[in-house]
Chain A
Amino acid sequence: VISLLDDDRVVRYVGQPIAAVAAKDRKTAVAALAAIRISSERLPSVIGLDAARKPDAPVVFEKSSRKKAGNVSEGTGSPAPWKQNVRGPSSAFSHKAKKARSWMQTARETQNAWLVEETFRTGTQQHSSLEPHATVARFDGDRLTVHVSTQAVFHVMELLAKRYKLGHDKIRVIADHVGGGFGSKGALGIETTAAIDLAREASAPVRIAYDRHEELSVTGYRPAAEVRIALLPSEQGDLKALSLTAYADTGAAVNSTIAALARLIYPAEAKELADFDVISNLPPGAAFRGPGGPPMAFALEQAIDEAALRMNVDPIALRKRWDPNPNRHRLYDWAAALEVWRNKRTPASQTGRYRRGVGVATGYWLYLWQPGSKVKLAVEAGRIVASTATQDIGQGSRTVIANTVAHEFGLEPHDIEVRIGDSNLPEGPGAGGSRTTASVIPPTLLAVQKLKAAIEGNAKRPPTPGSNAPWRELIAASPDLSVSAERPEDDKPMAPGIRSPLKEVGLLGTIFGWMMRHFSNIVIGAGVPSSVQVIEVEVDTWLGHVRVLNVHTGIAVGKIAAPALARSQAAGSVIQGLGYALYEAREVDSRTGDILTSGMEDYRIPGIADTPDIDVHFDEGGFDHVLGGSVGIGEVATVPTSPALANAVRNATGVRLTEIPIRPDRLIAALKGRAAA
């Protein structure tokens, strides 16, 4: 039995683990848990975005305990004001904020018809990985082996080494195959440390695996958000000013970056951007596929759609006008040429029960890579083995590495043995922030060059003249060899318009980039992974039902290293985005915070019949300055789905849905022009 309470013995969130028991079977463990006597004192509590913002709300983190708050982003947070349960504004990415404010005010006073103002609300989305958080820990003397469902075997090993004061060589973290993570398995989880502590106490291997109720209770979520937006075009039809204020329902966590992300797309003369974390006694939110991106896009991309309607400009043409990014310009041209886009109906022109509409939206993400990532290539018994301490959580990194090596040697992917998912292998990247592909391909290519030289240098005879597989012959005859290479810096991009998005933010961007590199070991590279989606829906206006007919997703992430898996990841991102837009919401009791959607029956993700035709288009340019030319897909592919869908509903019905998920009750209420419950 171990206690999991913090040193101050305060339980801060609903579902917080407070003790763990290990036993030889489940029955004994359950009985032992029931036998624990807990004496407690009831402290005041507060649940959710609205209640926690009230001035008299009980304070969740006193000043002395603020370090205990979780993190809903991938990087380290910047300092921000923090009063009671509201942390913020984080507004470092604003640009001439005062000007933006005063222009907005003038536009309001003069009743500028092009001024778009709206408040958007997004629901709490859960990662819902098929494989729950799970750990098996065992000690052999002073050596610790941990099997853990994680997105970062190497990073978790480093964190464990620090926590348990063990050398890197004494710890082995293993994750052969991981059944999904989506951001929820990037850090050291309590299920891992509890299993290790129990294994040490019990001098026996210990397994902790969450059941679905636990998985949906305490493993994090994408925080719900309230996003107020004001968007002001100039008289000439340029984007003059943008204001975005986001309140995120982060639970016992901080560091939401929704508004800040609106800085790195659609340049304007002035932008006022403010992020607030609203802390309550709900479990901590966590990083989730493009943290902050989908709620930002839900507000911004609908505001742009609305501006296009008011200005009587085609929504794609307006984006081309306001968005100088060359990667996205190619995607806009692709989208504008789609038959479904060219044939779309005049907005709100239909009157029948079923109405069809088409919507478009744009997304972007940062191109991230992890310095220090290494790949080792070896010839072992006449076969090439590639190894690095990364892991595959479903994105296909094994295949990315196998394809890359095979291609260079003129071999088939199955000729290459790829070893990943083990922290004993050379340092590899975490599977988060879409960084894996861009972190492993460049060192793989460098290692290929080294290995070719080593094989040739050790060859006893050259390949048969005229052989159609000279490398296959050489490798088969080669003695065992090994080489390794580290992720190099990128070349300076030569193509016009390709630069780090942080350059838009000037000196502050440089500082932010430096902080990410030195505190989070992430480099924000040049060029912007981008996506444009076009979605067609059919709305049943009687039953408030949205049927998604087809989704066209255009993605610019450079060269595609593993086409089948890239397509699968792009389609999966769309499906998860449709869930966010239509079905998924973590529901709690507003008084106690008890989770109500604690199983997959009540927490609804899309099923196969809800999955539309998904057309995936890859634009393979834009990243020639990266060795291999490839960057990651995972996050950028899910960012624009919810606004594209809402814009399609607007096109079909004339009604703009400002809140997701677009459930039947909300759609019916919107169609009737009344407030939903």
Chain B
Amino acid sequence: MTSASMTTFATSTEFRAAGTDLSERRRSGVSRGPLIDIKTSPDTIGMDWGADGSLRIGACTSIAAIAADTRIIEAYPGLAAAALGLATPQIRHLATLGGNLAQRSRCWYFRNPDIACLKKGGSDCPARTGNHLYSVAFDLGPCVAPHPSTMAAALLAYDASVTTDQRSGLTIGDVFGDGSDGAADNRLASGEMIRTVQLPPPLQGERALYKRAISRSHAEWPLVEVCARAVVSAAAFQFIRITAGGIAPIPLRLAAAEAVLQGGAANPATIANAAKQAIAGAKPLPMTGYKLDLLSGVVHDLLERLAA
């Protein structure tokens, strides 16, 4: 591994929303480029409901506002629960939806100003060969840091789309890519800013849950987090969508588990099978095999409750 003094930090311009991520990186010296403070405008703050029940959320809306919004809690309970489950009350009060999506990696190698890494202009990933207890279990690219955005994992479950100041109709997949670019946390262009997030109307009779596995009770980056939506009727899963964070460089849809459940009986055998399939395609690192147990466990937990 290389030491940071041998490389140069990227000194590109960064946007500052609430600064809950940025201020710590400024203090440590990991962020050194010029800043652009984001000014809110009517379309970038607050909620705008469509006649069809769809929702547009401004990127400058606080996480706490999303968590506490009674209409979101009713229509998109998985999103509201995700918002309530992240960080601390103080952070949620300040932090914005756009900032949560565009935040930088929380990898402890990235955050250490004395260590170079792919995301700081380095040539290799020191976590891959070092202490990667909290890294990915789906190894999709050169960088092994899991994507830190909880909101992204939940929005993926809701088929949300993103509008920036340059583009519209971006899927969550478009925004975050496939994990193959270890240098970036997202696929936004330099200087591109998220303005709004759109959610299609919820399905008739759908329910949704969010849960993260952590060691403490609160206020910890997820080891694994899952958002699951389901329509259960006639004792079967008529619709299912399961997405996960904390396990891959991008928010991940658990397609193999969904395939087991889609149209399947809402019974313990199907649920147990789906929980097993949740880890399909996983490529854990030497220290992250436990995340697969947690992933199965969280999926199992959510499916049991959705089927109940």
Contacts and interface: CB of A to CB of B under 8 A. Distances in A.
A604 B115 CA distance: 21
A607 B294 contact: no
A211 B126 CA distance: 25
**Residue from A587, A664, A676 whose CB has the most chain B CB atoms within 10 Å:** A664
B217 interface: yes
Interface string A544-555: 110100000000
B240 to A, nearest CB: 20
B297 A665 contact: no
A587 B213 contact: no
Contacts of A544: 213, 290, 293-294
A521 interface: no
Contacts of B217: 547, 607, 609-610
A596 B131 contact: yes
A606 B133 CA distance: 20
B35 to A, nearest CB: 17
A545 B217 CA distance: 9
Contacts of B112: 594-596, 598
Contact of A599 (B24, B115, B223): B24
B76 interface: no
Interface string B195-228: 0000000000000000001111111110100000
B244 to A, nearest CB: 14
Contact of A213 (B28, B115, B131, B223): B28
B265 interface: no
A677 interface: yes
A588 interface: yes
Contacts of A587: 108, 131, 133
A222 B155 CA distance: 43
Contacts of A601: 106, 221
Contacts of B109: 589, 596
Interface string A613-641: 00000000000000000000000000000
A669 interface: yes
Contacts of A604: 215-216, 220
A545 B220 CA distance: 13
Contact of A607 (B213, B216, B286): B216
Contact of A606 (B27, B216, B286): B216
A610 B216 contact: yes
Interface string A569-599: 0000000000000110001111110111111
Contact of A588 (B131, B133, B215): B131
Main secondary structure of the interface of A (DSSP, over half): loop
A587 B293 CA distance: 23
A672 interface: yes
Interface in B284-299: 286-291, 293-294, 297-298
Contacts of B131: 587-590, 596
Which has the most chain B C-beta neighbours within 10 Å: A543, A589, A599?
Answer: A543
A contact residues, range: 35 or more
A668 interface: yes
Given A542-B297, A544-B294, A607 B115 contact: no
Most chain A CB within 10 A, of B223, B290, B294, is at B290
A334 to B, nearest CB: 29
Contacts of A588: 131
A602 interface: yes
Contact of A545 (B111, B213, B293): B213
Interface in B1-37: 1, 3, 24, 27-28
Interface string A287-311: 0000000000000000000000000
A592 B298 CA distance: 35
Nearest to A217: B114
Contact of A677 (B133, B220, B223, B294): B133
Interface centre among A547, A587, A594, A668 (most CB of B within 10 A): A594
A664 B297 CA distance: 12
A170 interface: no
B114 A594 contact: yes
A588 B108 CA distance: 10
B300 interface: yes
Contacts of B108: 587, 596-598, 602
Contacts of B288: 677
B215 A590 contact: no
Nearest to B219: A607
Contacts of B293: 544, 668, 672
B216 A664 contact: no
Contacts of B130: 589-591
Contacts of A583: 215-216
Nearest to A664: B215
Given A591-B1, A664-B294, A543 B213 contact: yes
Nearest to A587: B131
A663 interface: yes
A607 B89 CA distance: 13
B301 interface: yes
Given A543-B297, A597-B108, A602-B108, A677 B286 contact: yes
A583 B218 CA distance: 12
Interface in A134-172: none
B287 A607 contact: no
Most chain B CB neighbours (cut-off 10 Å) among A542, A588, A595, A661: A542
Contacts of A542: 297-298, 300-301
Interface in B248-285: none
A542 B296 CA distance: 8
A668 B218 contact: no
A544 B217 CA distance: 12
B215 A582 contact: yes
B146 to A, nearest CB: 14
A672 B294 CA distance: 13
Contacts of B297: 542-543
A597 B220 CA distance: 13
A587 B107 CA distance: 13
Given A547-B217, A598-B108, A663-B215, 18 more contacts: A544-B293, A544-B294, A582-B216, A587-B133, A589-B1, A591-B130, A592-B115, A596-B112, A598-B112, A610-B217, A664-B213, A664-B214, A664-B223, A664-B290, A669-B290, A677-B133, A677-B286, A677-B289
Interface of B: 1, 3, 24, 27-28, 106, 108-109, 111-112, 114-115, 126, 130-131, 133, 213-221, 223, 286-291, 293-294, 297-298, 300-301
12 contacts: A213-B28, A545-B214, A592-B1, A599-B24, A604-B215, A607-B217, A607-B218, A609-B218, A664-B223, A665-B291, A668-B293, A668-B294
Interface of A: 211, 213, 542-545, 547, 582-583, 587-592, 594-599, 601-602, 604, 606-607, 609-610, 661, 663-665, 668-669, 672, 676-677
